[in-house]
Structure 1
């Protein structure tokens, strides 16, 4: 129910991100594409890459070197756009549409970034989390009045960390950046599900909170170990994320709409306007997942595809989510005071 803090969001996101490695795409299976890449890497004249050049006068651009493009990956990029240009001239695009290559649309890179707008929007998603942490440093929140302050700080820190990895991954899709992105996202998903349990059921006792977060840590460690050391199973990863996502979203939505169903008289039974704000943010973010399901190609040769649009929407929704989290301690303290009178 939060941008990259939205576990259901991440479940769908993981499904889309796994595509490049889970299966080939029509573009990279095409014989013309493969022949072009072979020709390019052999320094033939059809398509030339400065990353493959042995001439000192044709030095590779610094931006490509910094973003770790190689002869093979640069040739694949050039051949991808060369083939799409040919397909457009031949009328193939009108019949079959734009092809994907290695699970991704043919984006136009900028300064070496494969998906520049997704990079920008990932950073935009990180800003609200960073702002929340900076605000909390100056806030005077007593643990006795609001026992969840530290838990929210950890959530914001993990969110910030995961969005940094998202920006890195969208800059260059490699095995290393993909693994980092998946693990960072998984940490947020598991932790936020635990946070939902702790906050919704108002687990004020430290030992109960520690138990919930310890179980969450064990779940994440087990899942990460399996993915990294046994089998990087995209289907299994998606199932785990969907399960956690539905659980977390259901808890937040139910609590924000009718907290009394959990049988707790004092918070959580939110009757203040922030409860409705939480509900609207959750529902809006779940609805925004439709952008990922639509999965349309980049608009007018840019890098603005459905996934980038999704990042844009979540970067906007992150602000009311963290605003709600920041104000929760005020509402909680007020409810606690009224309850104990």
Structure 2
């Protein structure tokens, strides 16, 4: 059922609209044109008339044209509401109240929260798992990729530029791809030779590099990006579920992995909700980030139990071989 819902998510998100009622409106366009003529230098980067911009907005790179867009956005929202029209989107996004120069403060905060969860749990992992345990290095690599991804998620939601968008999409995909890699290495390590593991690693690295080059060529293909993420994520989920079902008796702790995968699919449905942000701060995307943070604890708890189990098995096998 979870996978059917995820597929439904694909269909809805692929139809993402890049141009919105707010920025298309004549009122907004006129406001933006007048504001830029009165306040901005040619190109819209600098202010004229000795305008003193607050330091926090200068640090977070709010140019003159950005300020005009922000002010005109709220004037347009007010105009829509006066006519009893629904809150419009602007450039494909809902209006948010900025805080300390951050465009989407809730998404920034919850992205940082996810990164903090990974940081805290890898510390617990290092405390509970011996360095010579199987897959000790693998979960550290996963943590590094995840921390990097959540850092750029926070940066992108703080200030939406083409470069920060590119890094956010690329790093988010790296986390999806790394999750798939972890799954394959864990499920196949004792069943295929080392050269095959090296081939899998090379393939994943090359695939990611090619994906980043594709994103860098021009405007991001949002539909293709979403399709690819969902396809790989669904494949990873199916494999984990199958493995957990097969090993549920022998390794009872695998319920943590199965529950993590199921809940991840469920909370992803928040991405389907497309309504104005609550208090113009909390939208469904930010709440999705909020719900993924506690799931990190569940995932690392599984990783800790799994590494302990595998090390115990290795010690037992060594002991059995030494017996006459």
Question: What interval of TM-score do these two structures reach, taking the shorter chain for normalisation?
Answer: 0.7 to 0.9
What is the aligned partner in structure 1 of residue 28 from structure 2? 33
What is the aligned partner in structure 2 of residue 198 from structure 1? 185
What is the aligned partner in structure 1 of residue 88 from structure 2? 99
What is the aligned partner in structure 2 of residue 81 from structure 1? 74
Check the 8 A contact 2:145/2:175 in 1, yes or no: yes
Determine if the alignment matches structure 1 residue 278 to structure 2 residue 273.
no
Q: Which one is further off, 112-121 or 192-201?
A: 192-201
Of 100, 114, 117, which residue of structure 1 is paired with 2:106? 117
What pairs with 1:1-341 in structure 2 (closer than 5 Å)? 23-43=18-38, 53-56=47-50, 58-92=51-85, 97-138=86-127, 141-143=130-132, 145-146=133-134, 148-203=135-190, 206-229=194-217, 232-259=220-247, 271-299=250-278, 301-337=279-315, 341=320
SS, match of residue 296 in structure 1: coil
Q: Which one is further off, 269-278 or 73-82?
A: 269-278
Check the 8 A contact 2:21/2:90 in 1, yes or no: yes
**Cα separation, 1, equivalents of 2:138 and 2:15:** 30
Check the 8 A contact 1:285/1:314 in 2, yes or no: yes
CA deviations on 1:163-204 (whole Å, 9 max, x unpaired) are 000000000011010011111112222222121111123447
Check the 8 A contact 1:64/1:111 in 2, yes or no: yes
**Cα separation, 2, equivalents of 1:222 and 1:317:** 30
**Closer, same or farther in 2 for the Cα pair 1:309/1:252, shift >3 Å?**
same
Q: Which one is further off, 163-172 or 211-220?
A: 211-220
Check the 8 A contact 2:125/2:300 in 1, yes or no: no
Alpha-carbon RMSD: 2.7
**Cα separation, 2, equivalents of 1:17 and 1:111:** 32
SS, match of residue 277 in structure 1: helix
Check the 8 A contact 2:166/2:215 in 1, yes or no: no
- How many Å apart are 1:319 and its aligned residue? 1.4
Gaps in structure 1 of 5+ consecutive residues: 1-7, 45-50, 260-268
**Cα separation, 1, equivalents of 2:249 and 2:56:** 51
Check the 8 A contact 1:25/1:103 in 2, yes or no: yes
**Closer, same or farther in 2 for the Cα pair 1:166/1:312, shift >3 Å?**
same
Check the 8 A contact 1:132/1:156 in 2, yes or no: no
**Cα separation, 2, equivalents of 1:235 and 1:74:** 30
TM-score (norm 1): 0.82
Say how many residue pairs are matched.
307
TM-score (norm 2): 0.86
Gaps in structure 2 of 5+ consecutive residues: 40-44
